[in-house]
Every structure is written in C-alpha cells, then in structure tokens.
Amino acid sequence: MKLDPTQLADWQIAEAAEKKIKPIQEIGEKLGLQEGELIPMGRNVAKIDYTSTWNRVKDLPIGKYVDVTAITPTPLGEGKTTTTMGLVEGLGIIGKKPVGAIRQPSSGPTFNIKGSAAGGGLAQCIPLAPFSLGLTGDIDAITNAHNLCMVALTARMQHEHNYDDARLKKIGIKRLDIDPERVQIKWAMDFCAQALRNITIGKGGKMDGYEMESGFQITVSSEIMAILAVANSLSDMRERIGKMVVAYSRSGAEVTTADLEVDGAMTALMVEALNPNLVQTIEGNPVLVHAGPFANIAIGQNSVIADMLGIRMGEYLVTESGFAADIGYEKFWDLKCRYSGLKPDAVVIVATVRALKMHGGGPEVKPGKPLDEAYTNENLQLLEAGCDNLIAHIEIVKKSGANPVVCINSFYTDTPAEHALIRRIAEETGARCAVSEHWLKGGEGAVELAEAVVAACEEEHHFEFLYDLDMPLKERVEKIATEIYGADGVEWSDEAEEKMTLFQNDPEVAKMGTCMVKTHLSLSHDPTLKGRPTGWTLPIRDVLIYKGAGFVVPVAGAIKLLPGTGSNPGFRQIDVDVDTGKVTGLF
C-alpha cells in the first residue's frame, strides 16, 4: 500500500509503517553495537548501554556533524524533527551511513496543541505511540528525582521550623535556616497545567509541612533535564546533581541537594535515564532519542552523550536544536558544543512558505483553526517581506562560522515561484538552499537536501563561540541580545541586576555558560513582534542559577516555566482501539 500523507494522519502512516518495522536488534547492528551493548525495551525500542559502548567507540574517528535549526516558527511549528528524519532518510538514499539524534517529546505538547515530536508524513520515527507516550521512562525519572528534591527541601523546612537545635542535633541534622522567600525551584510535572503555576503548600497543622507559596514547572525545564543533556558519564551526572542550588538560607548561603543529603537518591533514580534510547525512521535508519525539548525555557538539545556516541557510529550525525536559530542554535553553539567538544560541519535552517508569509504581515496563525487563504494561495509580495526573518537566521549561523543550508520544507500548497523566491534570497545571503519533499515522499524527497548538506560539510568552515567564558555575565547577555536577537540593548530589573552582580562576584559562577529564557515566537521577547523587529530593548526580569548544569539563566519578558493547555487540546482526539490496543489520534 502506498502511503499518502495528504490523505492519512501521521498516526495512520506510522501504524501502517510499523507493520514492516525492523527488529531493534537489526537497527543496533547498523550502528555496529556488540553483544550486551543493546538493552531491548520490547521488540521495537531499546536503550544503549552508554558506559560499555563509549569505552569501545571513544577512540573511533568521528563523522560529519549536522545541526538542524529553523526560522522563527508559527505556533504550529515548521517541521525541524520532520526535516531531521527526512535528512537522515535522504542521506541513506544517497548511500551514506546516517544516524539521527533527537529529543524525547514532552507530554505537555503531545497532549496539548503542538502534538508529538516524531516528525510527520513519511519522515517520522517509529514506533509512534511508545515514542510519544513516555518511551522508556526518562522524563518520569527526571520528574521523580526533581520532586524528591522538593520533598527533601520542604520536609527539612518543616522540621527546622518545628524542632529546636538540640532535637535536630540528636537526629543528626544541621540547621540550614532556609529562607522560604528564596526557594529557587518548584514542583515538576510533564503536562501543561497553568492552574498549578502558583500554589500554596503546607496548609493545615504543624504536621502538614511548612506553609509557603510554591508552584509547578514543566519537567523539561528542570535543571535535572539540563544535567542529563550535558553530562558525559554517571560520575559527572552524580557530581552535577550534588551541586544543584535549590534555595538560599536567611544569611544568603546556598542550599544544595548535597546539603539536603538527597543528591545520591536523586542520582539513583536517574541511573537508567543516562542510557540513550534507540528507535528508527520509517525507512529503517537508526535514531537516538535522549533529553528533552523547550529551548525557550531550557537548553532544548538532545544529549551530549547521544551525539558523542552517534558521531562515532555513523558517517553523518544529524542532530537538532529546539525552536529557531536565535535560541536553539545559539544554545547548541555556545553551550552544547563547549560540553561535547564537537563542532558542526553544516547547519540546516528549516523554513516554510507559511511561516515566512506570517513574518511578512500575514494573518495570525492559530492552532486548531483553519489557515487563512493567504497561506495556501501564492503571494510573492507577502513572502518576500517575511524573508527578513530568514536572513536574520542565516546571519546568526554564519556568525558562528558554520556553513548554513536553508531547507525549504515543502508543503503541497506551495508554488514553484514561491520556492524560487526563497532560494534566491537564501543564496544571495550566503547560504545553500534545497527544496525538500520529505514529508510527502520520505527519503526520495530529501535527496536534494542531502546532497546540499554533504556539499556544505566538505566546504571550509571556522566555527567559533560567540563569547569567551572570561567575558562578564552582563556583557554576554548584551552581546546575545544585540548580535543575535537584534535588540538595541538590555534593560535589567532591580532583582535581575542584583543577582547578576552576585553571580559575577562568584568565581565559579562567573565562568559558567549563559542559557537564555525567551519566547520562541519572535526574535524579540514579545511573541507578537514578527519578521525582524527593530527599535526594541530586551527586558531581563530575573536570573536563575543552574549550578549543576553549569548555567546562568537570564529570564526575558513574561515567559512562563509551565505552559498552559489550550481550548482545543490534542488529547481530545487520542484514544485506544480496545480490540487491538493500538493508540489512535496521535499527531
């Protein structure tokens, strides 16, 4: 049966493809995995024993390194994972040995508006339901480890409040004198639950905890997720978890997970999560899945561990960065590449006619609502006006010294004239450009893209970080704001200014990386500003410290660490066929 993405939903395509899915052992053999290195988690999903595999492959030569990023997206997303899967399939078609490396989807968007992150059409990874619904439990492990930390913190606050020093000494507890106004983390859950952003806990009597204001954040924004993304071994992860700053004392001293004596137990919950997951594309190419999404409120990269393995087991490793080049690629560039020591040979910038028309002044794009005819009918004037956004992202990639390749993720409503216009502007800005029909045709539709990426990888390139770690923290933020986002400058709240001064005076923190929190829907902090905004200032309202991951985290604008569920969420369409047990309605 020929699968037609214009007539079938993604879950229907995946269900049909899964009838011919290759056993996961066969995918492991493609990677050259040896006995004991593959840990089957059923017939079609596995984990890779990182420690034993790394010890065997660490001295092997590395392949080409390709990152997939994008222009500023519409709320619907422009298909980075779809393009990543399509490129992996296309490289396979032209005779290369590709490996994909993507992030595990969060249940938040899966059950909300955006849907899963498996790709789409004939360019997706399978099996779809396990991939989308928890996979092997890594995010659950992060949720549990994070909340165990909150249990330890809040219980400690209750006991210190209720017991005098003599009683604490008797049970072997040193008073930390935690300031309830300076607790740095919240509870975690992997859903979009706006009703839990701000809560009061500890209500009742003295045995019901310490009463204070608290809340929830989405699991993928947890520092533990960031640690999973950047750790390079179990010992490294254990050390990083112990450095997490969860609160401050009334005297201003840091309170860490090690101070709470919970770091070892948290690591115990994370042992299996350190091993990356293995699935496959519809065409049977290996795909590593590790760490999580949300580059707007987190690092938003798949793990260093997955990339370090994959680049030694294939000729081309195709990885992806969350959202657009201004946030996802900038974090890949200035954070992930520092941790891994890897440098990209080429960077793919995904663009769609739809998104460029929106940036040119097209009608608002709303999830769950039909697209305006402006997006499905040819309109070259609107399209050309929106290409300023594409130019900005090409320039960001070029600033890093990497070779950019614009991928026009083709929709069947696009016209040849629209593609020609984007190609001309991309090439005039100094990027290669390819039209790719991977969603419609799979690997065969991505041959032009694959060939463009191979050519870009062979070109000379001089990758350099945007900032040196000796640069003062405030100057780094201003450099990112002005040179990457296009701001005129930065405006600091009193609280953010005070924290940044404190962090700059700590020699260890002053050398940490900078992980910005900012909307993904605009180059600016304001999601309503489309195209390439000018004449604006970036407001920094707060600065967080992720000492375990090694980040200082400036927070721009009004962005939330717990997204909300929309009025027409995806869970309304998801169900189970009770006769077969098959999950239906995933998208």
The catalytic site residues sit at: 80, 82, 103, 114, 295, 323, 411, 439
Q: Note whether 67 and 317 are within 8 A (CB).
A: no
Alpha-carbon distances, residue 584 vs 11, 12, 123, 314, 569 (angstroms): 7, 8, 19, 33, 15
Beta strands 537-546; 489-492: pairing state: parallel
Residue type, 139: I
Q: Facing residues of 408 across strands?
A: 351, 435
- Is residue 54 within 8 Å of residue 404, measured between CB atoms? no
- The closest alpha carbon to 52, from 229, 286, 307, 233, belongs to 233
Q: What is the DSSP letter of 538?
A: E
How buried is 81 (Cβ within 10 angstroms: 0-12 exposed, 13-18 middle, 19+ buried)?
Answer: buried
Rounded CA separation 424/426 (Å) = 6
Q: Which residues contact 210 (CB under 8 A, 6 or more apart)?
A: 154, 157, 158, 161, 180, 201, 202
257 phi, psi to nearest 5 deg = -60, -30
Kindly compute the dihedral angle of the four CA atoms of residues 564, 568, 292, 560, in this order, to the nearest 10 degrees. -20
What 3-state class would DSSP assign to 191? coil
Is residue 53 within 8 Å of 305, Cβ to Cβ? no
Whole-number Å distance between alpha carbons of 346 and 462:
11
Please check whether residue 325 is in contact with residue 541, taking contact to mean a CB–CB distance below 8 angstroms: no
Paired sense of beta strands 551-556 and 575-576, if any:
unpaired
Residue type, 186: K
How many CB atoms are closer than 10 A to CB 20? 9
Residue 27: count other Cβ atoms within 10 Å of its Cβ: 23
Beta carbons of 200 and 211 less than 8 angstroms apart: yes
* φ/ψ (deg, to 5) at 70: -160, 175
- Give all strands of the β-sheet with 245-249 in edge-to-edge order: 178-183, 245-249, 254-256
Nearest residue to 131 (alpha-carbon basis) of 244, 18, 221: 18
Which among 246, 221, 238 has a CA at the least distance from the CA of 157?
Answer: 246
